[in-house]
Amino acid sequence: MMETSDFYYELPPEKIAQRPKHPRDSSRLLVLNRSRKEITHHIFRELPQFLHPGDTLVLNETKVVPARLHARKIPTGGKAEILLLKRLKPQTWEALVGGKGLKPGRRLDIEGGAEAEIIQDLGRSRRLIYFSQPIMPMLEQIGEMPLPPYIHKPLQSADEYQTVFAHYPGSSAAPTAGLHFTPELLNRIEANGVHIITITLHVGLDTFAPVKELNPSQHKIHTEWCHVTQEAADAINAAHAAGGRIIAVGTTTTRTLESAAQAATSPNIAAPIDGPTDLFILPGYKFQAVDAMITNFHLPCSTLLMLVSSFAGRERILQTYEIAKQMNYRFYSFGDAMLIL
């Protein structure tokens, strides 16, 4: 039986990247070729040499919402913190909360000009919160970017935690594989005859949470909203029919494309979709849409490491991670990248 501990590895804290690389495409790129069983080492700006005319590069154009809010309890004035996860209605959100006594009925004064009330306890630190007015339009002024807890240095600019192609607000975390791209690099890729298309998946924090069940198949992965347009599905299907590779930028894009594949009918490999996906990719999964993947180095025992292991093999991925550690690659959200061919 597969166990969650099968996806564990040791990582010294000093290998966790605390700052993004500048420029973005100066990060390192480990290339893992599955058929050749070969690993080579490069700089991310060298990516175009691994892409061929007729390939299709798929980007997730979600945009991170500055979803961390500071608040005071009414009437005591005690501090509280809210991390918005998912908008259910214009004034109702699912959120994580920090602070004592945050039970249903507790009212909060949001720093920056709004009030809120906790209306339901969803377990652990999750709450359903009702705001006195739609909060989304206010977030750019009153919210902070929700950096992962393993990043201890503040951003110099909020843009550091956004991809250059971010467009649709809705994510609680960045699709980090996309952080390595610059507009110039994307132009070079496209000039070489590679098609670039976009999909959207709004990333939730549960994506990065370690799996705590002994058997990972018993882990409940939370749904995330994704969207593949008819135009994008048509482009993917045409590229596949012509023999081009579909290259997913990130696990979020991979999850979206494979969700679209589940809705497709042969000979197509993608169908338009618009709604939640709860697809949990574990070893043994047969990939239908994705031929190659660009990804970062992920947390031990996370669903993301399990997805990448499903694509390239668990033992091979863990061996590759050990090599990356020996070669001083930078790990996690602001870390270096890996191309799996």
The confidence score (pLDDT) of residue 299 equals: 95
Could you tell me the pTM of the whole model?
Answer: 0.93
CATH number for the region 4-64+155-340 comes to 3.40.1780.10
Task: Return the closest-CA partner of residue 89 out of 124, 128, 63.
Answer: 128
The confidence score (pLDDT) of residue 329 equals: 98
The confidence score (pLDDT) of residue 208 equals: 66
Query: DSSP label at 125?
Result: T
Which H or E element spans position 33? strand 28-33
Could you tell me the fold of the domain covering 68-142?
Thrombin, subunit H (2.40.10)
Q: Alpha-carbon dihedral of residues 140, 143, 149, 150, nearest 10 degrees?
A: 40
Token code pair at residue 22: 């500048």
| Segments making up each domain of the chain, as ranges | 4-64+155-340, 68-142
Alpha carbons 251 and 307: distance in angstroms, whole number: 7
Which tens digits make up the pLDDT trace of 115-167?
999 999 998 889 999 999 999 999 999 999 989 889 999 999 999 999 999 99
Token code pair at residue 93: 């959100």
Cβ neighbors of 31 (< 8 A, separation 6 or more) are: 39, 40, 41, 42, 50, 338, 339, 341
Cβ neighbors of 109 (< 8 A, separation 6 or more) are: 71, 72, 73, 74, 115
The confidence score (pLDDT) of residue 115 equals: 95
Alpha carbons 320 and 339: distance in angstroms, whole number: 12
Counting as low any pLDDT under 70, the low residues of the chain are: 206-208
